[in-house]
Amino acid sequence: MKTVQCMLGLILLAIANCPHSIAADYQVGERVGNTKAAPKANASYRVLDWDDMIPADWDPMQAIKGLDLDKLDDADPRAIEALEQMRSAWNDAPVVPGLNSQRVQIPGFVVPLDMNGTKIREFLLVPYFGACIHVPPPPSNQVIHVILPKILPKDQQKTIDAAAQEYGPVSVSGTLETVASNTSMGFAGYRIKADRFAPYQIKGR
């Protein structure tokens, strides 16, 4: 009888070991939470919050401010215009230039870009889950293009690959670069040349 139990156990083990888990464990729109609460891995990195990446004086909602939304219909041309303005504000969201070439640590959700075999080579880091599929994407100053170092320890690569499979969270440390909108890119944004990665657990889960 024992043998039978052992066999069943091993079958379950083999199936559970199967690397692909289906359906992510996060709710759409779920955010990484208070990043400062995360354990500090290394004193040489500044722990960054997603809000730190938005200039203090930037307000995408400006267009809506003057409107009395209660009195407006969805199809009202004024409402549509305000929405369009808000969208273009999101598209041209400015970056915080002071963050350039700072060594930072920030957690976020992974959106895979390039893969070599099953290994992730480049990805985008976003502040909430489902940014790529279910919900409108974040403004451009809330997206970080993460470039992995050529050689990465195996366990860290595994951490990223696992996170990418379910668009899950990961903590990234590295040098942040800002690209201003007046450059040839025609687009403002952030980029991290990453040094190290760590699994990230959302608090209270």
Partner 1 sequence: MSMKYLLVLAARSAWNRKLTLGLTVMAVALSVTLLLGVERLREQAHKGFSLSVSGTDLIVGARTSPVQLMLYAVFRVGEATNNISWSSYEKLAQQPLVAWSVPISLGDSHHGFPVLGTNQDYFKHYHYGDNLALRFAAGRPFSSTFDTVLGAEVAERLGYKLGSRITLSHGMGLGGLPEHKDKPFVVTGILKPTGTPVDRTVHVSLEAISAIHLDWAGGIQPPGFHIPQEYVRKFDLQPKEITAALIGLKSRAAVFRVQRAVNENKDEALLAVMPGVALEQLWQVVGVAEKSLLAVSVIVVVVSLSGLVAVIMAGLNERRRELAILRSVGAQPREILMLLTYEGVFVTLAGIVIGLALLSGVTIGAAPIMQEKFGVAMTMSLPSIGEFKLMGAVMLIGLLASLLPAYRAYRLSLADGLTPRV
**Residues forming the site for partner 1 (CB under 8 A):** 3, 6-7, 10-11, 13-15, 17-23, 91, 111-118, 121-124, 131-133, 136-138, 140, 143-145, 164-165, 167, 179, 184-187, 189-191
Shortest distance, position 8 Cβ to partner 1, whole Å: 9
CB 196 within 8 A of CB 155: no
Nearest CA to 96 among 87, 85, 88, 104? 104
Cβ closest to partner 1, residue 61 vs residue 115: 115
When the beta carbons of 38 and 130 are compared against partner 1, the nearer one is 130
Q: State the nearest-atom distance from the C-beta of 193 to partner 1, in Å.
A: 13
Between 19 and 98, whose beta carbon lies closer to partner 1? 19
User: Which is nearer to partner 1, 66 or 136 (by Cβ)?
Assistant: 136
Q: Tell me how far, at minimum, the Cβ of 186 lies from partner 1, in Å.
A: 5
**Cα–Cα distances in angstroms (integers) from residue 61 to residues 72, 84, 87, 93, 200, in the given order:** 16, 11, 9, 12, 31
Measured CA angle at 140 (ends 145, 56), to 5 deg: 115
Smallest distance, partner 1 to C-beta of residue 146, A: 10
Shortest Å distance, C-beta 119 to partner 1 = 9
103: enclosing H helix or E strand: strand 102-116
Tell me 195's DSSP state. E
Of residues 17 and 44, the one with the C-beta less far from partner 1: 17
Q: Quick one: which of 29, 22, 31 has its CA closest to 204?
A: 31
Distances (CA, A) of 51 to 56, 63, 71: 9, 21, 31
Output the smallest distance, CB 149 to partner 1, in A.
14
Beta strand 144-147 pairing with 189-199: parallel
Q: By C-beta, is 44 or 116 nearer to partner 1?
A: 116
